[in-house]
Amino acid sequence: MNMQWSLEQLHLFVSVAEQRSFSAVARDQRKAQSAVSSSIALLEEDLGVSLFDRSSGRQPKLTEAGTALLEEAREVLRQCERLNGRALAMMRGQEASLRVAQDEAMPYQAVVESFEALAEQFPSLEVQLTSAAQGDVARKLVERRADLGLLFYHEQIPEALERRVLGSVEMVTVCGVGHPLAQQTQVNCQQLAQHRQLLMSTQSSVYPGSEPASPQVWRADSFYVMAEWVMRGLGWAWLPRHVVQYPAYQNLMVELTSEWTPPALIVELVWRRDEPLGPAARWLAERFAVHLQAIG
């Protein structure tokens, strides 16, 4: 079979499948609706299958073959973005500047030490670092207001982004040194439920351990605010190990051995698929992964 289909036809196929409208895609692409329909028809002819059931009403509906081929088409387009991005990176060489967006709860010491090493390795590099809430980090990348993102894993990230796991940060159960639970060598669920719990509360609620284990709960949108509350005896909390290890908090919190602790925070590196990481960005990612391992 002689395949004559084009990348533009694949792009139109994916767009129509996602928007479920030939006319909407035609408006977005500034084409006549007949041109979009004709391109899809030629693609179907080349592939030898019908992609849309046009008799199902006003909205085009994917056929069984269309559903099966949709993800294949998306992957071909993703590979093209990677190819263009790799070529662009080769043409550019070392980046002149690097804009990094990080989740505001990212391990402070690992970030600082990684950037300190980056300054030595790439002395002429211009750097901009911004801290933001989890969802805002991904948004900055999508809107091209950042080149590199550091965030904690959650299932849904925008389609335009690539991700890579760098490491993890353990969650621990803690209370203040003067808290009644501090005298226990090990605590169970019933004991935890008898005392106020301090919980992370964010708009996106993507951090592990967002479900309360106690009927009495106070919430904050910062792990560091929660740590301040813990030290003042206002309750117990699940905190990332790097927060508990922060120098200002030494000897002011007690780590409790508990049968109920949330899973670790998975730290991910995120970037745009069509703009692959340059040498400085890749080097920074490796340094950050090393510092994350040291936290554990």
Query: Could you tell me how far CA 73 lies from the centroid of its own chain?
Result: 24
pLDDT confidence bin for 202, thresholds 50/70/90: low
Judge whether 2 lies within some domain. Answer: no
Q: 3-state class of 226 per DSSP?
A: helix
Judge whether 1 lies within some domain. Answer: no
Region 14-29 average pLDDT? 88
Give me the percent of the chain exceeding a pLDDT of 70: 91
Residue 82 has, within 13 A of its CA and on its CB side, a CA count of 8
Residue 234 has pLDDT above 90, yes or no: yes
CATH of the domain at 48: 1.10.10.10
Same domain? For 176 and 208 the reply is yes
CATH of the domain at 269: 3.40.190.10
Q: What is the pLDDT of residue 94?
A: 67
Q: What is the pLDDT of residue 90?
A: 60
Give me the percent of the chain exceeding a pLDDT of 90: 29
Residue 271 has pLDDT above 70, yes or no: yes
DSSP states along 64-111: HHHHHHHHHHHHHHHHHHHHHHHHHHHHH-S-SEEEEEEETTS-HHHH
Q: 3-state class of 164 per DSSP?
A: strand
What would the pLDDT profile of 55-68 be if each residue is shown by its tens digit? 766 788 898 998 98
Contact partners, residue 30, CB within 8 Å, separation at least 6: none
Region 69-94 average pLDDT? 78
pLDDT confidence bin for 110, thresholds 50/70/90: confident
Tokens coding 250: 């030494």
Region 209-232 average pLDDT? 88
Distance CA 82, CA 165 (A): 19
Distance CA 218, CA 74 (A): 44
Residue 286 has pLDDT above 80, yes or no: yes
What would the pLDDT profile of 23-72 be if each residue is shown by its tens digit? 888 888 888 888 888 888 888 888 889 998 877 667 888 989 989 899 99
Q: What is the mean pLDDT of the chain?
A: 86
Domain count, the chain: 3
- 125: containing domain: 93-169+265-295
Residue 134 has pLDDT above 80, yes or no: no
Strand pairing partners for 296? none
Where do runs of H (alpha helix) occur along the chain? Answer: 7-19, 22-29, 33-47, 64-92, 108-121, 134-142, 189-193, 223-231, 241-244, 279-295
Q: Are 118 and 88 in contact (CB under 8 A)?
A: no
User: Final residue of a domain: which of 31, 62, 90?
Assistant: 90
Residue 139 has pLDDT above 70, yes or no: yes
Buried b (16+ CB within 10 A) or exposed e, 134-164: bbbbbbbbeeeebbbbbbbbbeebeebebee
